[in-house]
Amino acid sequence: MEFTKSHTKLVNLAILLLVIALSSCKTISSVQFQALEAPKVILPSDVSRIAFVDRNMHFPADSTEQYYIVNGVVLKDSLDNTGGMPLSCYQGFVQNLSEFWSQDSIPFVSLPREMMLDTTRHFTPLSWETVTSICRLNQVDILIVLEDIQAFTSQDLVETDTYWVTNEIRYRGIFRIYDPLYQKFYDNRLIADSLFVEISDSNLDRLVNEKLPSRREMMNDAVYELGKDYVDLISPRWVDVSRDYFVSGDKRLSTALYFIKKNDFDTAINMWESLSKEMDMKLAGRAAYNLAVVHEMKGDLKNARGWIRKAMYFYKNMKNMPSEYKEIEAYALVLNSRWVNGKKIERFFGEE
């Protein structure tokens, strides 16, 4: 079973989807593109195979009867609807894995069912001997272990001119990532959220028997989202980014946008670089700011940070600081954050 990171070269960290509105009466215009956001949990670049493990621990509070007692539920059933939740969570994980991971299969491992006597939920880590054994058996490097999973539903029925049913599904899960080679945990995290389902019908029987999803369906849908939420934490993803450009003060500020729309960055850069040498500090500052933006779009964060520093220098040498300088300072902070993000991306791909 093979699970490997794809080593696509990120020459540009942006897929450019440009929407540029040019208007001589506007001070700024906007450009949209996509940037790569680093995962919150970064696995070592030499990790190529993982397994998803259901710890399969059960506490007294997990019983349907105990849940009804604690929450004062009036409308109830005696069915245990939790059996398929770990598998649904696994499906949410594997079916939403980032494009930056290529996989043959991620094995799903369910440990023997363990009934816990204590009412307080606690999750002592698996022994490293157990972790090593599971990894060897499944030919994987690390384990992503679902230590705990819960999902509960509550229902409200309102009768007006029609019948309305609102269901809330609250779900939570605890994940821990084990690396047996270094005997290290890469993450230990609780995720909790909820989903809402609202359905109406003029006929109560039709609403309850035909339209309303079963408790099992709702709980499985909720924990599918739990798996999806967690895979987003370990995978890079493309995010939409919007940046403002200065387009007034000199025709070269706005004209250069034509070339950017044609992906002719060099021509636009040359035009703005010439403007950055002007004696008019405001004009030079605007050009330097635009240069920072275009270099960010190209994925060249080093030059982007250099140009935003120049923009700040030009503005600070003006006799009267314009209000737009606040935007320059704010963008400098954004670029610093993007720089840190870029270092994390390099770690993910093993390019440090």
CB 200 within 8 A of CB 207: yes
Q: Is the pLDDT of residue 155 over 80?
A: no
Per-residue exposure over 76-94, b if at least 16 CB sit within 10 Å of its own CB, e if not: eeeeebbeebbbbbbbbbe
Q: What is the pLDDT of residue 153?
A: 79
- Which residues are CB-neighbours of 125 under 8 A, at least 6 positions away? 176, 178, 185
What's the rounded Cα separation, in Å, for the pair 111 and 54? 6
- What's the chain's average pLDDT? 84
Q: What is the pLDDT of residue 24?
A: 44
Give the chain's length: 352
State in words which class domain 3-38+247-348 has.
mainly alpha
Share of the chain above pLDDT 90, in %: 53
Is the pLDDT higher at 82 or at 227?
Answer: 227
Q: Is the pLDDT of residue 281 over 90?
A: yes
With CA atoms as reference, report the closest residue to 329 among 285, 297, 287.
285
CB 156 within 8 A of CB 165: yes
CB 132 within 8 A of CB 121: no
Query: pLDDT tens digits, residue range 291-320?
Result: 999 999 999 999 999 999 999 999 999 989
CB 103 within 8 A of CB 97: yes
Query: pLDDT tens digits, residue range 32-66?
Result: 899 999 999 999 888 989 999 999 887 766 655 55
Q: Which two tokens stand for residue 149?
A: 């999973």
Q: How large is the average pLDDT for residues 70-89?
A: 65
**CATH 2.60.40: does it fit domain 50-235?**
no
Q: Is the pLDDT of residue 75 over 70?
A: no
Instruction: State the span(s) of the chain assigned CATH 1.25.40.10.
Output: 3-38+247-348
Q: What is the pLDDT of residue 160?
A: 81
Q: How large is the average pLDDT for residues 178-185?
A: 96
Q: How confident is the model at residue 255 (pLDDT cuts 50, 70, 90)?
A: confident
Least confident of 76-90, 161-175, 195-209: 76-90
Using CA atoms, how far residue 188 sits from 104, 131, 201, in Å, is 26, 15, 44
What's the rounded Cα separation, in Å, for the pair 124 and 80? 26
Query: pLDDT tens digits, residue range 107-144?
Result: 999 999 888 776 677 889 999 999 999 999 999 999 99
CA dihedral angle for residue 14, residue 19, residue 20, residue 26, rounded to 10 degrees: -120
Using CA atoms, how far residue 34 sits from 37, 41, 77, 243, 305, in Å, is 9, 21, 48, 11, 18
User: In degrees rounded to 5, what are phi and psi of residue 101?
Assistant: -120, 130
Q: How confident is the model at residue 200 (pLDDT cuts 50, 70, 90)?
A: confident
With CA atoms as reference, report the closest residue to 144 among 180, 112, 114, 113.
180
Q: Which two tokens stand for residue 300?
A: 């060249």
The pTM for the full model equals 0.77
With CA atoms as reference, report the closest residue to 288 among 299, 273, 303, 278.
273
Can you give 262-320 as a three-state secondary structure string?
Answer: CCCHHHHHHHHHHHCCCCCHHHHHHHHHHHHHHHHHCCCHHHHHHHHHHHHHHHHCCCC
Q: Is 55 helix (H, G, I), strand (E, B) or coil?
A: coil
Q: What is the pLDDT of residue 15?
A: 31
Q: What angle do CA 346, 349, 350 make, to 5 degrees?
A: 80
Q: What is the pLDDT of residue 2?
A: 38
Instruction: State the span(s) of the chain assigned CATH 3.30.160.
Output: 50-235
Is the pLDDT higher at 24 or at 97?
Answer: 97
